[in-house]
Structure 1
């Protein structure tokens, strides 16, 4: 039988600090480590809605390791592409196509509507993190909230967006 959201939240809170240390040992950027951890928690929570996990702690560690490896691979690919494109600057067309521009504007308008519909605290945390690009430390200083509370509000905000935003 799949686990309920409250049980998943308890598991996440219980293992948060140790998982963050685990990720930070592999990623030298604390903010990126927090982002990876947050992504793991979102995936874990969604996974638990449909599946049963025998050893949640081990599963979380495996998920964190996989997410960290994926991040490192993405960074390496991005670095490789950047070097490749820098060698051939005439190949780069910085202007998006008209279709891409229209699609991006439509998605932005939809996202603005979704953000406006969020509960106030979720919207505040979401805007600070994803629009103003504040770190978790800065958000904590501005709001007076603990990291766990910021995580909770951010998870709720992202879940709110995921449910309303078409793929």
Structure 2
């Protein structure tokens, strides 16, 4: 079973990511926060009775399941509430991002591009091929003229650098 200190560490280190993960599914921050609170309560009950090899993965699974449940509930409620509009207008697409979410996403993308610019050229090329072009590691290795293991290392190091910098931390050597 996990100690109180381990539980606090899991909460401190993962709360923001899990909230963002839930929000990406449900599309609404207050609902995502409610989902995370419910997931945390389920996780605490389970942590009191069993041992986990990967507690964060288990918590993320709970968050995903509860987020999908919340999304289904939202869609059911919206379908029940909204019917054909009397003036002939279409109902707004509740899943499309609003102007604020679009602006935030654009700023995060610009920030990520700046962070990627800090990386060596080969690492940038590997990440872009992996993320944008969805190339396999074998194709990336061939494209860059490196071994498969080196291609994997470039992507792993690049992702780690971006993750740490997006969270506002410097990479520690």
TM-score, structure 1 normalization: 0.46
TM-score, structure 2 normalization: 0.44
